[in-house]
Amino acid sequence: MSLSYIDYIMTLLLITALFRLRRRRLISVPAVILLGLAAISCPRAAVFAEAPGVADGARAGAYGDAAFRADTDTGPDVASQGEDGGADEGAELGSEPGFGEALPLAAEPMEPFFEALARMERTGAGHVRVLHYGDSHTAADLLTAAMRRAFQDRFGDGGRGFVHLGKPWKSYRPKDVKVAESFGDWRAERILVAVDPAALDGRYGLPGVCTIGARRGAFVRVGTAESGEYGREAASFDIFYLIQRGGGSFDVRVDGRVAGRVRTDGPGPHSGFYRVEAKPGLHAIEVRLRGDGEVRLFGVAVEAGRPGVVYDGLGVNGAFFYTPLRWDGALLAEQIERRDPDLIIAMYGSNEVDSRTITRESYRADVRRVMERFREGAPEASCLLVGPPDRRPRDAVAGVERLAWINDVQREVADEIGCGFIDLLGLMGGAGSRAAWERQGLAQPDGVHLTARGYRVVGERLVDEIVGAYEDFREGNPLAGAE
């Protein structure tokens, strides 16, 4: 049983008070013990308040498929899998899965990304950036951590990438970075399927979620990883925030020293950016509010002082493919342009499997519109759709059929608009393959998510597919990356 210091203090106070009552013969010793244990086991209040609606799927109604979705606000059950994403990663839980067959990734739509990789390898300079959007498979930073590490092993560690300032949900445990915030000072806002979109302003920027605070002294902090091989160097921090009328100001501190002050008050709303550079090494950046108005933060991009891949994991728990259409398009484009990606990955589809409202035609339109929106800020970047993994739908017949055409539609749209496509369903072994993954300890029993080890296996396989296509591209283009 893991207890916070608040648990201990509250429990001790309660037991002390009850023993005082015991001295007056108003309560028995066993009752004191039982009440103390009850105090320990009571759930604690969340540090961050969610947007109206409490949690994804809390209510059904006119605002989406909340009653039919299988995803949850917490995403994969990472709490029981270790601080670094999995006590099961090294466990003997069966052999690696027998991957199925899928068409190889076509190199042509990936050429801008491959050219950037080849140029960096040839010159030994610069960063190659990837933005990876998706649902809870992405938001947990298990699959994305595996992909980030695999790319960085092959091409160099260009830095940790984009990190939320604050915790957008209670289960936020990003890898290869250290995050902290002041208790109770921040609230998170994002699109929730149980909330009328008209009640939300959609100003969620690059990651599709923001944190808002106003109290003087409230802080959020992001630092390099304290251990491990990854995330151990930072040379620049680029803070993304909202400029708005009446916005407050904040101080920026690097390693405890004030590096500057930022005012967010101004004509808007539009994106604001504040970049701080430091000598490459171990660092921590802190945003501390001045208390003179509301401040809305989107996150910070952390990059190293050496060439390599920078991989931004931008998943949102409970997201559907249409979710980004409810974000403010201008803010999204501004911030994607700021990140200047060479590749944009979209990985959605699991939540749609249990939907009773989407059709093949409406889904096709959503996929196309979202990919067009992502590319508005980076029209020269490559784009890649990764189809949904196999899952166990609530309706065994209709759900399996829906999963199949969701996968087909993504492939068709990718081909129509010039994006790459990876058939993850096929790679896993096709419909029904999830049962074998569960037996091997690679998928969780919730029917949707994988285990930490399963996400690692899938992430590494996805990178193998991409790097394999890159090597084929290099063989056929020996001058690739030349100026």
Instruction: Read off the pLDDT of residues 228-285 as tens digits, 9 standing for 90 and up.
Output: 999 999 999 999 999 999 999 999 999 999 999 999 999 989 999 999 999 999 999 9
Mean pLDDT of 51-74: 33
Query: Within this chain, do residues 137 and 33 fall inside the same structural domain, yes or no?
Result: no
User: Any alpha helices (H) in 28-71, and if so which ranges?
Assistant: 29-41
Closest CA to 444 of 83, 102, 93, 176: 93
- Domain for residue 453, yes or no? yes
Residue 195 has pLDDT above 90, yes or no: no
What's the pLDDT score for residue 340? 98
Q: How far is the C-alpha of 443 from the C-alpha of 452, rounded, in Å?
A: 9
Task: Assign 348 to helix, strand or coil.
Answer: coil
Query: Within this chain, do residues 417 and 360 fall inside the same structural domain, yes or no?
Result: yes
Burial class (CB in 10 A: 0-12, 13-18, 19+), 187: middle
Query: Within this chain, do residues 408 and 288 fall inside the same structural domain, yes or no?
Result: yes
Closest CA to 237 of 277, 203, 272, 290: 277
Which tens digits make up the pLDDT trace of 430-469? Answer: 999 999 999 999 999 999 999 999 999 999 999 999 999 9
Domain that holds residue 257: 79-476
Residue 200 has pLDDT above 60, yes or no: yes
Compute the chain's Rg from CA coordinates. Answer: 23
Quickly tell me which residue has 């790319």 as its tokens.
151
Burial of 232-255, coded b for 16+ CB within 10 Å and e otherwise, reads: bbbbbbbbbbbbbeebbebebbbe
Query: Within this chain, do residues 141 and 17 fall inside the same structural domain, yes or no?
Result: no
How many folded domains does the chain comprise? 2
Residue 367: count of CB within 10 angstroms of its CB: 25
Query: Within this chain, do residues 33 and 87 fall inside the same structural domain, yes or no?
Result: no
Mean pLDDT of 162-177: 93
Query: Within this chain, do residues 34 and 121 fall inside the same structural domain, yes or no?
Result: no
- Domain for residue 59, yes or no? no
Predicted structure pTM score: 0.83
Query: Within this chain, do residues 364 and 455 fall inside the same structural domain, yes or no?
Result: yes
- Domain for residue 416, yes or no? yes
Cα 213 → chain centroid: 21
Q: How far is the C-alpha of 400 from the C-alpha of 473, rounded, in Å?
A: 35
Q: Flag the least confident range among 17-21, 44-48, 391-395.
A: 44-48
293 or 93: which carries more pLDDT confidence? Answer: 293
- Domain for residue 239, yes or no? yes
- Domain for residue 46, yes or no? no
Mean pLDDT of 66-77: 43
Q: Flag the least confident range among 35-44, 287-296, 328-337.
A: 35-44
- Domain for residue 89, yes or no? yes
**Which helix H or strand E contains 150, and what residues bound it?**
helix 143-155
Closest CA to 338 of 287, 382, 301: 301
Query: Within this chain, do residues 37 and 151 fall inside the same structural domain, yes or no?
Result: no
Query: Within this chain, do residues 29 and 104 fall inside the same structural domain, yes or no?
Result: no
- Domain for residue 49, yes or no? no
Query: Within this chain, do residues 25 and 121 fall inside the same structural domain, yes or no?
Result: no
Torsion of CA 254, 260, 265, 268, to 10 degrees: -70
- Domain for residue 69, yes or no? no
Mean pLDDT of 186-191: 93
Q: What is the CATH classification number for the domain harbouring 321?
A: 3.40.50.1110
